[in-house]
Structure 1
Amino acid sequence: MIVNLDVTLRDGGYRNNFDFPLDYALHHARESVAAGLEWVEIGYRNGSFTTKPGLGRTGVGADDYIRAVAEVVSPDRLCMILHPKNITEDDLPAMYGAGVRLVRFCLPSGAPETGLALLSRAAELGFTTTVNITRVSQLDRRRLVELAGMSADAGADVVYLADSNGSMLPDEVSQLVTLVRSVTDTAVGLHAHNNLGLALANAIAAVDAGATWIDSSILGMGKGPGNLVTEQWLAYLGRGTGGDTYDLGRILGLAHRMESEIEQATPSLPLPDLVLGHFDLSVEERAKLPVDRIGDVFSAARELTAAGAR
């Protein structure tokens, strides 16, 4: 069975500084769950990795916001994500008490110990837990195996492969899913970005290789060119094993409202983000590209890669 997780209110927040109106956020969570999506991620807890001033509610993830969503959606469907550096142990019981039941940890590959300790505490509190191994395309496979094993030992229910740079190809996704499944009994998930237009193909490859958790967002709204598009993914599932499990019509209605009300939701593929995906560069490297001289972006990205920016 595939577990589908909506990340719009969180990953989509990179486009509008997480400033979703409360009435829209409540509507979005309610409609996502009503359409059959197993989990809805309602935001970050205490900010993203690099936080801008004036961060909106889905980037702060305060207790009163969680409680407001939990009044319209069962806590058993509510998820939040966090960077371990941004929280303390006190945040976890507060989140659980407010209504969150799935917590996701963005695990830094170089120093994962703090995140793994917090994950163990979350599991003790009764959370379903995932580890999101970010920028997996740049990670040595031996290190990926180590992180997957440590995550499982710490109590993770799911190990997510996050194609943060949107640079992976279906064969690569398949190989990494197979590798993680060979070294741990945890479920495996995919968080796909769409820099190369391959998010849907990569999700299909991941599931074919045994992944059972898939992230997506309405209209693909997410960092850079966005994520796997929920509407496309559910349409694909509806043609195969998904059948009538999900209410695609309801999701399309939600997509229409979001497109009408959230200006930054309009799908796009900025040319610099395509180049980032091509060279497997992170979105943070975008600031080093001469985006006002689009003809020079490709050669500048090539130089960054040659200089070891990865």
Structure 2
Amino acid sequence: MSIVNIDVTLRDGGYRNGFNFPLDYALRHAALSVEAGFDWVEIAYRKGSLLPIPNIGLTGRGDDEFIAAVAREIGPDRVAMILHPKNITEHDLPAMYAAGARLVRIILPAEGYGPGLEYIRQAKETGYTVGVNFARISQWSGRGIVEVATAATDAGAEFVYLADSNGSLSPVDTTDLTTLTKSVTGGPVGLHAHNNLGLALSNAISAVAAGATWMDSSIQGMGKGPGNLIAEQWLAHLDRTGTAATPLHLGHALELAELLLATVPEGTPSLPLPDLVLGRYDLPVEHRKDVVGGSHHDGIATARILATVR
């Protein structure tokens, strides 16, 4: 079984720094990512995240000029984008393709996913490799997964990603969800893990054991909240087991990690206390403002968080 790897640092890591990666860094990052063996580099959201972010930076906008610059650096066949259907129009997918993007992931909600299906069809007609992300999968019902996965596949989605946005899944949960999704679609399934409970690597291994063949990770785990599956650990694991779709070069991944830490202060790994609690109680990151009071590291804040979610 070969694993297709997507580097999501520039996109998901943007939650740490307002998506304000310097262009020169983004280009160097993408080049080293490909040299490390990533099949795709997901470089940006198209026109923002789920909720508006003031003064959102380069990798939160995904402008055509940025896509074109990365495509010149690493070739279009490595350039991936992701988007929320509510943020785009019918003009965006053709424009992104013309600029140099070749893979697009469309984020579908459990309800009200109809507009996303139309964009899946348009993306297929345009020529993209097309996948879907089921965000906050820990809160989906089994029936919902069956319904939306069937509809997305019928519309032309080539793979389905289970996104543990809240970082709440266990290895057993991940196994069950992967097995269910694969049985419904008959096609490739991927995992986008968050590390709120320190289980991202265990969940990734469990997903692959259950048949997942696509995997997201980020350098130093840089991503929303406590971050994602740590790419360096994941690539080292794949290198030992020989299960990557593309030859891996761990040295380039380590070089990239050093570059990130030297260039982007927000790339330093961290586990903020509220995010651990959000993971425990399966709450999305938007709830941080409701459950945090005072310092993230003192006992008073902890008590307030627990009192709120109990």
Please tell me the TM-score bracket, short chain as reference.
over 0.9
Corresponding residue for residue 283 of structure 2: 281
Corresponding residue for residue 156 of structure 1: 157
Corresponding residue for residue 270 of structure 2: 268
Q: Which sits farther off after the overlay, 282-291 or 209-218?
A: 282-291
Alpha-carbon distance, 1:36 to partner: 1.3
Corresponding residue for residue 166 of structure 1: 167
Corresponding residue for residue 125 of structure 2: 124
Alpha-carbon distance, 1:110 to partner: 1.3
Equivalence map 1:235-254=2 (5 Å): 235-242=236-243, 245-254=247-256
Supply the distance in 1 between the matched residues of 2:261 and 2:309 (Cα, whole angstroms): 36
Q: Which whole-Å deviations, capped at 9, do the CAs of 1:1-55 have from their partners, x for residues lacking one?
A: 1000000000000001100000000001111112211000000101111122211
Supply the distance in 2 between the matched residues of 1:149 and 1:278 (Cα, whole angstroms): 30
Supply the distance in 1 between the matched residues of 2:10 and 2:293 (Cα, whole angstroms): 27
Corresponding residue for residue 103 of structure 1: 104
Supply the distance in 2 between the matched residues of 1:229 and 1:78 (Cα, whole angstroms): 20
In the alignment, is the contact (CA less than 8 A) between 1:44 and 1:59 conserved in 2? yes
Q: Provide the TM-score with structure 1 as the length reference.
A: 0.96
In the alignment, is the contact (CA less than 8 A) between 1:35 and 1:246 conserved in 2? yes
Amino acid at match of 1:48: S
- Structure 1, unaligned stretches of length 5 or more? none
Supply the distance in 2 between the matched residues of 1:291 and 1:213 (Cα, whole angstroms): 38
Supply the distance in 1 between the matched residues of 2:166 and 2:309 (Cα, whole angstroms): 13
Supply the distance in 1 between the matched residues of 2:304 and 2:148 (Cα, whole angstroms): 33
Secondary structure class of the residue paired with 2:257? helix
Percentage identity across aligned positions? 57
Q: Which runs of 4 or more aligned residues in structure 1 lie more than 3 Å from their structure 2 counterparts after TM superposition?
A: 296-306
Secondary structure class of the residue paired with 1:71? helix
Alpha-carbon distance, 1:297 to partner: 4.6
In the alignment, is the contact (CA less than 8 A) between 1:119 and 1:156 conserved in 2? yes
Equivalence map 1:54-69=2 (5 Å): 54-69=55-70
Corresponding residue for residue 203 of structure 1: 204
Going from structure 1 to structure 2, the CA distance change for 1:291 and 1:240 (only over 3 Å counts) comes to farther
Supply the distance in 1 between the matched residues of 2:243 and 2:24 (Cα, whole angstroms): 30
Amino acid at match of 2:29: H
In the alignment, is the contact (CA less than 8 A) between 1:220 and 1:267 conserved in 2? yes
Secondary structure class of the residue paired with 2:220? helix
Equivalence map 1:28-67=2 (5 Å): 28-67=29-68
In the alignment, is the contact (CA less than 8 A) between 1:279 and 1:302 conserved in 2? no
Supply the distance in 2 between the matched residues of 1:238 and 1:39 (Cα, whole angstroms): 17
Alpha-carbon distance, 1:295 to partner: 2.5
Q: Which whole-Å deviations, capped at 9, do the CAs of 1:48-92 have from their partners, x for residues lacking one?
A: 111222111111110011111111111011000001000001000
Supply the distance in 1 between the matched residues of 2:201 and 2:27 (Cα, whole angstroms): 27
Q: Which whole-Å deviations, capped at 9, do the CAs of 1:208-229 have from their partners, x for residues lacking one?
A: 0000000000000000000000
Give the one of 234, 238, 261 matched to 1:259.
Answer: 261
Secondary structure class of the residue paired with 2:241? coil
Corresponding residue for residue 84 of structure 1: 85
Amino acid at match of 2:53: K
In the alignment, is the contact (CA less than 8 A) between 1:81 and 1:103 conserved in 2? yes
> How many residue pairs are counted as aligned between the two chains?
306
In the alignment, is the contact (CA less than 8 A) between 2:8 and 2:41 conserved in 1? yes
Q: Provide the TM-score with structure 2 as the length reference.
A: 0.96
Alpha-carbon distance, 1:167 to partner: 0.7
Supply the distance in 2 between the matched residues of 1:178 and 1:53 (Cα, whole angstroms): 39
Give the one of 292, 299, 306 matched to 1:295.
Answer: 299
In the alignment, is the contact (CA less than 8 A) between 1:275 and 1:297 conserved in 2? no
Supply the distance in 1 between the matched residues of 2:54 and 2:309 (Cα, whole angstroms): 30
Amino acid at match of 2:299: G
Amino acid at match of 1:292: G
Alpha-carbon distance, 1:148 to partner: 0.8
Secondary structure class of the residue paired with 2:112? coil
